[in-house]
Amino acid sequence: MKILVTGGAGFIGGNYCLKMTEKYPEDTFVCLDLLTYAGNLETLAPIMDRENFRFVKGDIRDRAFIDELFAQEKFDVVINFAAETHVDRSVEEPDVFVSTNVMGVQVLLDACRKHVVKRFHQVSTDEVYGDLPLDRPDLLFTETTPLHASSPYSASKAGADLLVLAYYRTFKLPVTISRCSNNYGPYQFPEKLIPLMVSRAMADQSLPVYGEGLNVRDWLHVYDHNTAIDLIVRKGRVGEVYNIGGHNEKANIEVVKTILKQLGKPESLIHYVKDRPGHDLRYAMDPTKLVTELGWQPEYNFDTGMAQTITWYVENRGWWEHILSGDYKEYYAKMYKDRQ
């Protein structure tokens, strides 16, 4: 099989490429990535010379370029990880979220139709369902929960999901969609909660916790997300949506305290700052369909997965220090100055 992996220089797509090129030596993987601020070729360095892997720099919104690539490569499968992904950035600059996350997906869908790709898989998110109340632990998102996005990011992902399903219904394009909860693991850009807190705590800098730190996220190791995507692509039913999650709900403050404890840093580093506008209260996924239909089970438990992840950031300072030394300083100053 020849598989196009868009956004493969990012966090989840990068972990996907590292694992799947090794697991499936008989398949060929072409990674297409624009290398925005979030893309990092250092992540892919260990597989750059593999025979079954090739990196191409390009933009999923560039119709002529995408058409040419599809004509040359004749992909069997397209897995779309490429997106603008940070909620706080979408509050500041929504345009690029609509452009990449909606228009870019439409360009890919058209190319899949024209070049008769056997499967288009859209990597979506639990955020398309909106949020759940904190005092109703019995409520979980299922695949039939109505879409109710809160941020420009999640609205753009919901828009993409609707387009993907419309291409299935109208053009019979063989599509699948997965909606996953929050991921943690190696190679995550340090604007996101866990790597941000680990890198700042290691430098004895203040840890900016939004609001009272009581918002709940449902954490899954990136490895388990990718095994689920792999199963859905190979065995999932076309036209279907599959929720992915491991029943690991944690309040943000618990996650931050776990990090401080493992690093041996004091809780006095915690600073409660102004909340994110429209901040979703709680996410919680029901992955029953994926488990019963495709037999998926997560391998990581949260405590050991988090411990390994924190250790990874401690042992791989070089990877995130390169990022922190660039435009990131400006980003942090701009995004957090009004939050103090």
Residues with catalytic function: 126-127, 153
Binding string, residues 14-53; x marks residues near ligand NAD by CB under 6 A? -------------------xxxx-xx--------------
Kindly state the smallest distance separating residue 50's Cβ from ligand NAD, in Å. Answer: 19
Binding string, residues 61-90; x marks residues near ligand NAD by CB under 6 A? x-------------------xxxxx-----
| Strands 249-251 vs 216-218: parallel, antiparallel or unpaired | antiparallel
Among 77, 108, 209, 229, binds ligand DAU (CB under 6 A): 209
Neighbouring residues of 144: CB distance < 8 A, sequence distance ≥ 6: none
Tokens of 196: 């941000």
Kindly state the smallest distance separating residue 86's Cβ from ligand DAU, in Å. Answer: 5
Q: Where are the beta strands (DSSP E) in the chain?
A: 2-6, 28-33, 53-57, 77-80, 119-125, 175-180, 183-184, 207-210, 216-218, 220-221, 240-244, 249-251, 270-273
Nearer to ligand DAU, 89 or 289 (CB): 89
Whole-angstrom distance, CA of residue 133 vs CA of residue 216: 10
Neighbouring residues of 47: CB distance < 8 A, sequence distance ≥ 6: 17, 18, 21, 22, 53
189 interacts with ligand NAD by CB under 6 A: yes
DSSP assignment of 76-145: SEEEE------HHHHHH--HHHHIIIIIIHHHHHHHHHHTT-SEEEEEEEGGGG----TT-TT--B-TTS
Among 6, 40, 43, 181, binds ligand DAU (CB under 6 A): 181
Binding string, residues 293-312; x marks residues near ligand NAD by CB under 6 A? --------------------
The entry of ligand DAU, ligand NAD, none that residue 196 binds, CB within 5 to 8 Å by partner kind: ligand DAU
249 interacts with ligand DAU by CB under 6 A: no
Q: Are 147 and 129 in contact (CB under 8 A)?
A: yes
Whole-angstrom distance, CA of residue 298 vs CA of residue 301: 8
Binding string, residues 242-271; x marks residues near ligand NAD by CB under 6 A? ------------------------------
Site for ligand NAD in 92-111 (CB under 6 A): 100, 104
The entry of ligand DAU, ligand NAD, none that residue 236 binds, CB within 5 to 8 Å by partner kind: none
Kindly state the smallest distance separating residue 268's Cβ from ligand NAD, in Å. Answer: 28
Please choose, out of 15-23, 24-32, 41-49, 188-196, the segment that lies near ligand DAU by the rule CB under 6 A.
Answer: 188-196
Bridge partners of 156, per DSSP, are none
First to last CA, the chain: 51
Nearer to ligand NAD, 21 or 125 (CB): 125
Kindly state the smallest distance separating residue 3's Cβ from ligand NAD, in Å. Answer: 16
Q: Say what angle helices 317-324 and 328-336 make with each other, to 10 degrees.
A: 70
The burial class, CB within 10 Å (0-12 / 13-18 / 19+), for 56 is middle
Binding residues (CB under 6 A) for ligand NAD: these are: 6-7, 9-13, 33-36, 38-39, 59-61, 81-85, 100, 104, 123, 125, 157, 180, 182-183, 189
Binding residues (CB under 6 A) for ligand DAU: these are: 85-87, 125-127, 181-182, 192-193, 196, 208-210, 215, 217, 252, 276, 283
